[in-house]
Every structure is written in C-alpha cells, then in structure tokens.
Amino acid sequence: ALRSSVDRRAKKIARFKRQRAAESKLLEIKERKERRGRSTKAAALSSPVETEEDDVLDDDGEEEREAWLTTISLGLCKAFDLLEMLKKEEEILSAVKEKQLQDGEREFSQAILDERTKKVETWHRDAAARAHHTKPAAPITCATFAQDVIEGRAKVSQAHEHEHQPLIFGPASLVGRNPTTEREKIAAQVFQPHYRLPTMSIEEAGLTEMNMMNEWQERNVKLMEEANSSWYKDTPKSRPGEDDEEDDDDAAQDKARAWD
C-alpha cells in the first residue's frame, strides 16, 4: 500500500509538471504568433514590395501543429486528474451508502412523502381554523429572545419574563450548549470580539428614539401654547408710584439745568 501511494504521488507530480510545461509552451506559441503578426504588419506598411508567403505559411503550419499537440497533451493531463477525483468521489459515496445501509436507514418512498404532505396540510388547516379564535402573540422586539424562541430555549408567551442577554461568541463546544456555570461563561467570554457589543437590539433602539421624539414634540407643543397665551402678549401695566417718581426726576433735572 505504501509503494502504491508513493507511485501514485510520483505520477501526479510528473503529470503536474507536464501540465505546467504545456501551459507555458502554449503561452510561448501565442506570444510568438502575436510578435510575428506585428512584425509582418509593420513590414507590409514600411515596404510596398510583396514578401514571399510560402515560408510564413510553413512556419504557421508547424506552429499550429505544435499548438494542437500541446493542447491535446494538456487536455489529457487534466482528464487523468479528473478521473482520479471521480474515483475518489465514487469511493466516498460508496462508503457513505454502506454506512447508511448498516445503520438501517433507507430512502423515503413516495407513500411516506405523501403521508407527510397530508400531515402538514392538516396541521396548516387546523392552525388556520384556530387563528380566527385565538389572539395573536405580541411582536418580538429583541433579537436575542427571537433566537431563543427559534432554537427552542424559550416560548413566545415568556416575552415579559425575558431578560436581554448579550450574544456570546466562541467555539460551539462552549457556546452551543448555553453555558450555565461561571467557569463556562468565563471560558466563552475569552473568544469575544475586539469591538464593543450592542446593549440593545435594532428594534429596541428604534422604540427608544421614537419615545424621545414623542416627548420632544409634546414639549414643543407646550412651549408654543405658552408663547401664544394672553399673559405673554399683554404689556405690563405701570404702578401708580412709578409715575410720581418719574415726575420728581424730571423736576430735579429742570432745577439742575436752571442753576447751570
């Protein structure tokens, strides 16, 4: 077995080298043809004398033959690689099929599929009939609680009892089993991302901003009502004593001017 694996590896390496050599040769032939085409075009433009085309045709024929042979060699290398891959895939599928037969699994027949389809249709009809008489559940506004409901760790009816828990990142061996002990939680927190995690979901942030906007609008309405009220528009009335004080000030100013 070891000798066969070594031989197989040596053949694969040799085939890979031939494939690379063929690709390089095809690229070289392509570049050679492009250079010859450019030189022929330049010569035709520079000298009006017609050149002999027999040698050019012979060179083109040899290059075309060499290119086709190299292309065939490259295709053979790729075909052998694909054949080996198909053989390995066939072995894997055969092993999987044998494993399924050993475990007692079998493919679903059309009768089993029809039975399951009937069960699903019956369940949908019953759910549609119950929907007319039952109250729909409140919308879920927490992404973490929605994930818990989907994965079966919580029920929709427990929405008011749910406490928001931050998402825990890490390997499935630590996070997938929902760590409960302090040691498991600390081990799971080792694999946290370098950036700060959000403290609320997008829905909760939207509700908070909406409440802030409602409060701001209510406060602006109150300020506008106060600005348009009568006590703000009325001018303040002067008291009786203030008029006498103003008259005394005018008389004192007149007396001072007379002395001047």
Digit-coded pLDDT (tens) for 58-67:
567 788 888 8
Mean pLDDT, all residues of the chain:
73
Out of 154, 173, 188, pick the residue that ends a domain: 188
For 28-78, how does the pLDDT look when each residue is reduced to its tens digit (9 = 90+)? Answer: 888 888 888 788 777 777 765 554 555 555 567 788 888 888 888 888 888
Degrees (nearest 5) of the Cα angle 232, 235, 241? 130
User: Per residue in 89-107, is it b (16+ CB within 10 Å) or e — as a string?
Assistant: eeeeeeeeeeeeeeeeeee
Out of 188, 223, 247, pick the residue that ends a domain: 188
Q: What is the dihedral of CA 240, 245, 248, 249, to 10 degrees?
A: -140
Tell whether 100 and 159 lie within a shared domain: no
Q: Does the residue 92 lie in any domain?
A: yes
Q: Does the residue 14 lie in any domain?
A: yes
Q: Does the residue 93 lie in any domain?
A: yes
Tell whether 101 and 148 lie within a shared domain: no
Q: What is the value of pTM for the model shown?
A: 0.32
Q: Does the residue 26 lie in any domain?
A: yes
Distance of alpha carbon 138 from alpha carbon 223, whole angstroms: 36
pLDDT of residue 218: 92
Tell whether 78 and 22 lie within a shared domain: yes
Residue 224, SS3 per DSSP? helix
Tell whether 78 and 153 lie within a shared domain: no
Tell whether 92 and 154 lie within a shared domain: no
Q: Does the residue 101 lie in any domain?
A: yes
Distance of alpha carbon 167 from alpha carbon 189, whole angstroms: 10
Tell whether 12 and 75 lie within a shared domain: yes
Distance of alpha carbon 245 from alpha carbon 226, whole angstroms: 34
Q: Does the residue 205 lie in any domain?
A: no
Distance of alpha carbon 38 from alpha carbon 218, whole angstroms: 80
CA atoms within 13 A on the CB side of 57: 4
Q: Does the residue 255 lie in any domain?
A: no
Tell whether 84 and 173 lie within a shared domain: no
Tell whether 101 and 13 lie within a shared domain: yes
Which has more pLDDT, 217 or 199? 217
Distance of alpha carbon 83 from alpha carbon 18, whole angstroms: 17
Out of 188, 208, 225, pick the residue that ends a domain: 188
User: Residue 20 sits in which domain range?
Assistant: 7-42+63-105
Instruction: Give me the number of domains the chain comprises.
Output: 2
Q: What are phi and psi of 238, to 5 degrees?
A: -80, 150
- Give percent of the chain with pLDDT exceeding 90: 3
Q: Does the residue 137 lie in any domain?
A: no
Tell whether 38 and 96 lie within a shared domain: yes
Tell whether 84 and 23 lie within a shared domain: yes
Confidence class for position 215, pLDDT limits 50, 70, 90: very high
Nearest CA-CA partner of 208 in 121, 136, 141, 108: 141
